[in-house]
Amino acid sequence: MFDTVLVANRGEIAVRVIRTLRSLGVRSVAVFSDADADARHVREADTAVRIGPAPAAESYLSVERLLQAAARTGAQAVHPGYGFLAENAGFARACEEAGLVFIGPPADAIALMGDKIRAKETVKAAGVPVVPGGRDPELAAAARELGAPVLLKPSAGGGGKGMRLVRDLTVLEEEIAAARREARASFGDDTLLVERWIDRPRHIEIQVLADGHGGVVHLGERECSLQRRHQKLVEEAPSVLLDEATRAAMGEAAVQAARSCGYRGAGTVEFIVPGNDPTRYYFMEMNTRLQVEHPVTELITGLDLVEWQLRVAAGEALDFAQQDVTLTGHAVEARICAETVSVKEGARGFLPSGGTVLLLDEPQGDGVRTDSGLSEGTEVGSLYDPMLSKVIAYGPDRATALRRLRAALAETVTLGVPTNAGFLRRLLAHPAVVAGELDTGLVEREVDGLVPDGVPAEVYAAAALLRHNALAPALGSGWTNPFAAADGWRLGGERAWTPHHLRVPGHEPVTVRVRSTPDGGTELLLPGADTPLRGSAGAPPRPGAEHRFAFLLDGVCHTFAAAPDGSWLGRDGDAWQVRDHDPVAASLGRSAHAGADSLTAPMPGTVTVVKVAVGDEVAAGQSLLVVEAMKMEHVISAPHAGTVAELDVAAGTTVAMDQVLAVIAPNEVEGVVAP
């Protein structure tokens, strides 16, 4: 076994690898960019090396700087994690040439399976069924021959980036151009392939493990059908779709795929499976690395996959055969990502978010595991992947695992950064998910029912109570001028209301009125209500939950996680940023551009394309700019026909969420002249 291993990654996967290294008594070396100087993986490693500025190209993607860090710390091996250079054959070769062991498959296997076109040809020759399709340079012709719908995929990478489902071939060229642009940005290679789209498919993958002595086994399957935009959200093992015979057949196909490329280490063979006939499965691709969802396989097999990656890389042989692999119980994983999730907010629905983690509570124990790279104070920006953590639940059966995971997501608190935890909890309660009736389109079909229509009234009540309590004089401070106290006291009359003007981003501002009552209680008048409700703050709900704010509203107890300054509230996995709202300032801001619409950044990121200039006439819906964050493109379109009155950005400009990008003055309508 190695003495020292450099982890060439960041975030939760770096923390995960470091945990196993520590359990084996192996010294860990973390690397970090300037943006990650105080990151959790840096603090948990035995030592750490700065490798460059924040952009990944100058740090985590710099082969030269990673090799230098390994040399400076005496590392004997490099674990690439997933993402960044994990599936980069050039990096694997560079490690070998530098005398380092690359903890992964041989470079030739990475190169072969990283080229989806060659990969399909190779496994097909080994007897593994593949999806019908075509490739560059005859991509468009192949797509038309297959007939709609078809799926465009980058040849050089995975993770759903650059994938486009085309149901209307009249827009094929436009979709190909967009897919090439995303593929080039994500993988540095815009080569595409096209495959026949299978409606209502299920995404099932097989975990394989191979040593350098001819041993190859599979560790069962994972169901990964709950996706959005081809990005996995929830994974589970085993799949309710497969019977033992199909599981064995798919497992053997995965083993043959691994053998066909001379594989070594942990890898995953992904299949597309028609939901109405699981015996007709097709090879999609092979991921030549550890998968994000590997914990569910670990929980049902009892194996530490990172440990076996290390042992195989150190030259050890597998000490078990296929017949020794048993699958026990059920495990489900949910990916916590930094993103806004309300489709009711229009353009902002399901886009990368960012911020500072103000309060963090991640569940562990009792059948629940959280793999995370977060800590309080972590700055989440737009430079890296939006996945923050993973919550995994295990149980003796699927129903128990699902219940435990829903409960764990309800306890997950990440205030300061919008996440999808509440959305995932509702998804896991959907009747089709509970019944195991899954397919890769389920989430997008049901999304409207999985997001809240608005902000619950008790969120505004809690925010107003917190603010009102902060105005009260401190106990024991001596005599207080009753006219200075913010309790609404008036000489000889009914106590006055104190208005709290509040706004949750993406929603209209509201006003909650609060006043003290003569008996020492509190009344709240909520938006749209005619009758006040009785409210009172309570003690934390349990020991160790001091960050929880409990209060009674009309006799019902509500409990929220609350940021220290009351600016964020969380409950059941959902979180709301509640800002103080100044109606006067807002009114002045609107009057500055009366009759015009300001286009703001829906996410923190970088402007990559600007298609207009000040003074240009634009049509309603016309594409004006493109903002990219975390390798995701978002097109900013004109809300109406008009003239570009302001343009505050250029290609390459870094923007914050809600930053004004442009202002579109509407055309003259019924005698109204645009400013």
Query: Residues 24-60: pLDDT tens digits?
Result: 999 999 999 999 999 999 999 999 999 999 999 999 9
**411 vs 488, more confident:** 411
pLDDT > 90: percent of the chain: 71
pLDDT recorded at residue 244: 96
Collapsed DSSP state (helix, strand, coil) of residue 596: coil
pLDDT recorded at residue 136:
86
CATH number at residue 621: 2.40.50.100
Using CA atoms, how far apart are residues 60 and 9, in angstroms rounded to an integer? Answer: 7
Last residue of a domain, one of 328, 344, 366: 328
**CA distances to 410, 423, 424, 429 from 447, in Å:** 19, 9, 11, 13
Task: Give the three-class secondary structure for 632.
Answer: strand
Would you state the pLDDT for residue 343?
59
Distant-in-sequence contacts of 63-67, Cβ < 8 A, 24+ apart: 63/90, 63/91, 63/94, 65/31, 66/6, 66/8, 66/31, 66/91, 67/94, 67/95, 67/98, 67/100
Examine the pLDDT at 476 and tell me if it is beyond 50. Answer: no
Taking 50 as the threshold, does the pLDDT of residue 213 lie above it? yes
H-assigned helices in 188-335: 244-260, 294-301, 305-313
Question: Quick one: pLDDT at residue 582?
Answer: 87
Using the 3D structure, point to which of 580, 611, 637 is the last residue of a domain. Answer: 580
Q: What is the 3-state secondary structure (H, E, C) of 324-392?
A: HCCCCCEEEEEEEEEEECCHHHHHHCCEECCEECCEEECCCCCCEEEEECCCCCCEECCCCCCEEEEEE
Query: What's the pLDDT at 672?
Result: 42
- Do 439 and 461 fall within a single domain? no
Torsion sign over Cα 370, 412, 349, 609: negative
Q: What is the pLDDT of residue 486?
A: 61
Q: Are residues 226 and 308 in the same domain?
A: yes
**What H or E segment, with its residue span, contains residue 13?**
helix 11-23
Read off the pLDDT band of 340 (50, 70, 90). Answer: confident
Do 169 and 232 reside in the same domain of the chain? Answer: no
CA 172, CA 152: separation in Å to the nearest integer?
10
Is the pLDDT at 595 greater than 60? The verdict is: no
For residue 502, what is the domain's CATH number?
A: 3.30.700.30
Give mean pLDDT, residues 184-199: 88
Q: Are residues 531 and 643 in the same domain?
A: no
Q: Is residue 109 in some structural domain?
A: no
| Cα of 665 vs its chain's centroid, Å | 35
- 73 and 54 belong to one structural domain: yes
477 is a domain residue: no
Cite the beta strand spans of 532-650 per DSSP E. Answer: 533-537, 548-553, 556-562, 568-571, 574-577, 579-580, 597-600, 605-610, 617-618, 623-629, 632-637, 642-647
| Domain hosting residue 611, numbered range | 595-666
- On the question of pLDDT at 425 being above 70, the answer is yes
**589 domain residue, yes or no:** no
**pLDDT at 146 (0 to 100):** 92
Is residue 559 domain-shared with residue 641, that is, in the same domain? no
258 CB burial (10 A radius; 0-12, 13-18, 19+): buried
Cα 185–55–103 angle (5° rounding)? 80
pLDDT bucket at 650, cuts 50 / 70 / 90: very high
Interatomic CA distance for residues 159 and 165, integer angstroms: 15
- Does any domain span residue 19? yes
Q: Does 522 reside within a domain? A: yes
pLDDT of residue 546: 75
From 539, 554, 580, the end of a domain falls on 580
pLDDT at 670: 44
236 and 180 co-located in one domain: no
User: What DSSP designation does 33 have?
Assistant: E
Is 254 found in the same domain as 163? no
Q: pLDDT value at position 487?
A: 59
For the whole model, what pTM was predicted? 0.86
Q: Which of 300-314, 376-390, 460-474, 649-663 has the highest mean pLDDT?
A: 300-314
pLDDT at 360 over 90: yes
Report the Cα 5 to chain-centroid distance in Å: 28
C-alpha separations of 33 from 41, 59, 634 in Å: 12, 6, 26
* Rg (the chain; Cα; Å): 27
Rounded mean pLDDT of the chain? Answer: 90
Instruction: Give the number of domains in the chain.
Output: 6
Let me know if residue 419 belongs to a domain. yes
Most confident of 83-97, 633-647, 649-663: 83-97
Confidence of residue 631 (pLDDT cuts 50, 70, 90): low
pLDDT of residue 603: 77
- 332: pLDDT strictly greater than 60: yes
Cα distance between residue 574 and residue 414, in whole Å? 9
Mean pLDDT on 367-386: 94
Angstrom distance (rounded) from CA 413 to CA 389? 12
Q: Do 606 and 570 belong together in one domain?
A: no
- Could you give the CA distance from residue 83 to residue 69 in angstroms, rounded to a whole number? 19
Q: Report helix, strand or coil for 631.
A: coil
| Shared domain check, 177 and 98 | no
| pLDDT tens sequence across 532-583 | 999 887 766 666 677 889 999 999 999 999 998 889 999 999 999 999 998 8
Whether 198 has a pLDDT exceeding 70, the answer reads yes
* 127 in any annotated domain: no
Asked if 634 and 347 count as a contact pair (C-beta separation under 8 A), the reply is yes
Whether 462 has a pLDDT exceeding 60, the answer reads yes
Phi, psi of 16 (to 5 degrees): -60, -45
- pLDDT score of 257 more than 80: yes
Same domain for 563 and 618?
no
Residue 479 pLDDT level (bands cut at 50, 70, 90) = low
- For the ranges 25-34, 199-208, 395-404, the lowest mean pLDDT is seen at 199-208
Q: What is the CATH number of the domain that holds 80?
A: 3.40.50.20
Distance in angstroms (rounded) separating the CA atoms of residues 577 and 596: 27
How far lies 477's CA from each of 240, 472, 473, 484, in Å?
Answer: 64, 11, 7, 14
Structure tokens at 165: 């489902």
> In terms of pLDDT, which residue wins out, 452 or 578?
578
Residue 224 parent element (H or E): strand 216-228
Tell me the percentage of the chain whose pLDDT exceeds 70: 91
Q: Return contacts of 272-277, CB within 8 angstroms, 24+ apart.
A: 272/131, 272/198, 272/201, 272/202, 272/203, 273/201, 273/202, 273/203, 273/204, 273/241, 274/198, 274/200, 274/201, 274/202, 275/200, 275/201, 275/202, 275/241, 275/438, 275/439, 276/200
pLDDT band of 673, cuts 50, 70, 90: very low
**Residues 20, 68 share a domain:** yes
In terms of C-beta density within 10 A (0-12 exposed, 13-18 middle, 19 or more buried), how is residue 185 classed?
A: middle
First-to-final CA distance of the chain = 72
Is 490 domain-assigned? yes
CATH of the domain at 279: 3.30.470.20
Give me the pLDDT at residue 302, please.
98
- Range 308-316 average pLDDT: 98
Mean pLDDT, to the nearest integer, of 635-660? 88
